Structure 1
């Protein structure tokens, strides 16, 4: 169907866009928020609205994931290959993060605290790996090493990965049963979730008792909005005026509309428009470091805080970025990129 106006489908190039740059920006927002929160201080945005920098970062990741993973299913059309691709993208870097955090992180913390290594700690280290190996964080800390900190978890960023992988699988099965081939049922299912989210005090406890907080219940909302934008890519009007209106409405919504938030739709429009118009569209040629930044920054902040150096939150942001980018660089070049070569083999096996 042709439209008398330009749509995102006309302008969005899957192979040449600024999504890589956007993910780096979103990862930086998460670092900023955690640098404040782990210091026991609200970040500047949370002092004036219902949301903080870290939430925008995480929500943006989930919106982009919903958008991109829907496209991945469209290009794959096989639940086995689709699942293997998602496993290859998430698990190898996650496992390496668990191992490095367990042994290198523990070593550094022991040195900082001036305490001795014990067999009991070793058992806790092994438990940290075995209990968390399938993405669900059943053991958040190791032997009480971080008990003196504001946040006891050694890596409080990892909890979202299990939900993200769950949404990948739900989307894959939706594709398997043919739901994604039709716009109406896809949008209807996501709309039902959003409405139940609104009607249950933003906790979605009507259908899903496991969702006990708005922090968790909003994630399917974000992912679902990304899916909607993908299936309607050729119908959504591409307009600078709508982009500017979305920015204004996003700001208004996060400040004044807590009970029935609409900002995920505005944020999705903003991100998609920026992915077309921002420069540095080839930044991913140097590597996709956003995942590594996300999974490594939290333990680095925790270790820095254990030194009791009394850095301000903004100083902590700057100090955290350097080792985080270094580990993200190593993760991409020695774990993620080699693993992604398996995805290429999967594509060739079709």
Structure 2
């Protein structure tokens, strides 16, 4: 039965769940990976060649696809959808870019770069806001560190927004409106992503092409889960089977697919329990703040202290990262989300704010 055919009371996705806690875990996995990357140049948390931070990004996109599909099919209001997507991403993003212009660039750039009047500073800011590639070292920022980029994780933001836009267009044209249609689209994109390296030299393509296919595949997997509710509660035997398949075959050409499916099964088991804990369901969602703020904060601590060990860096930065993420949530993100929720139609009041897309 399609996702739209279930009643809200029967579907745990429409009530309290533990997906916020799952997002915390994914965000922490990204942070830990970057702590080691910025201090040693190598992420040790990996199975086969798949690092925990790499797979955490896939996990974020699977959850995003699931919740976006829910939002599209329950609200069916494209104007509200567009406003909601904008408000979820841009306010916090604007704040960190303002911090880049006013604090990070002037203080942590090489001498002569990064001032308020430096064109590179504003070009980088515009590029990020306009969904360009932010993987660069604007104004020679953090030039003495092992990694010289300002905020590497921001590279996924443009793909997240692209997924929102493409999902909305696909919904309007009916391409993802039904279990078999969305499954077909998912299988098509996944096949192109897996098959492209077999038939062409993908190194000759712009890196964004394969990244778009990779993250679109994960996002469409989430959208497929909305249309197939029976798949949202995988039995433990299926979870164990997917984990075993990844352990055995994760180094092959289908390795990433097995890894994403195994991770997704674990996220569904953890995020959609038969009986959700009210305490866990209501924890504040600091994951976005952790994700967009941790990298430049780690870089700041490494300025002048390049020999810090990963463990020491983690201990030193954890309180500050949590404080900044909490401030982002309570001062920026949550108030904006409250405005979005107040604008919802009355017939959506049964949807818990904790799972609002």
1:259, CA displacement in angstroms? 6.5
1:289 aligns with 2:260: no
Give 1:200's aligned residue: 196
Determine helix, strand or coil for the equivalent of 1:163: helix
1:107, CA displacement in angstroms? 4.9
1:132 aligns with 2:128: yes
1:276 aligns with 2:275: no
Give 1:343's aligned residue: 340
Determine helix, strand or coil for the equivalent of 1:126: helix
Does structure 1 conserve the Cα–Cα contact (< 8 Å) formed by 2:297 and 2:317?
Answer: yes
CA distance in 2: counterparts of 1:235 and 1:155, whole angstroms: 36
CA distance in 1: counterparts of 2:104 and 2:240, whole angstroms: 44
Give 1:173's aligned residue: 169
Give 1:327's aligned residue: 324
Distance 1:92 1:120, change over 3 A: closer
Q: TM-score, normalised by structure 2?
A: 0.84
Give 2:18's aligned residue: 18
Determine helix, strand or coil for the equivalent of 2:271: helix
Runs (5+) with no aligned partner, structure 1: 3-8
1:252, CA displacement in angstroms? 3.1
1:101, CA displacement in angstroms? 2.7
Runs (5+) with no aligned partner, structure 2: 3-8, 348-357
RMSD: 3.1
Determine helix, strand or coil for the equivalent of 1:201: helix
> How many residues are aligned here?
339
Q: Write out per-residue CA displacement over residues 189-218 of structure 1, whole angstroms, 9 at most, x where no aligned residue.
A: 111111111211189989x96555755531
Distance 1:141 1:260, change over 3 A: closer
Does structure 1 conserve the Cα–Cα contact (< 8 Å) formed by 2:250 and 2:256?
Answer: no
Give 1:87's aligned residue: 86
Does structure 1 conserve the Cα–Cα contact (< 8 Å) formed by 2:234 and 2:265?
Answer: no
Determine helix, strand or coil for the equivalent of 1:344: helix
CA distance in 1: counterparts of 2:158 and 2:236, whole angstroms: 36
Find 1:308's aligned residue among 292, 305, 308. Answer: 305
1:247 aligns with 2:246: no
CA distance in 2: counterparts of 1:94 and 1:203, whole angstroms: 38
CA distance in 1: counterparts of 2:290 and 2:198, whole angstroms: 29
1:86, CA displacement in angstroms? 0.4
Q: TM-score, normalised by structure 1?
A: 0.85
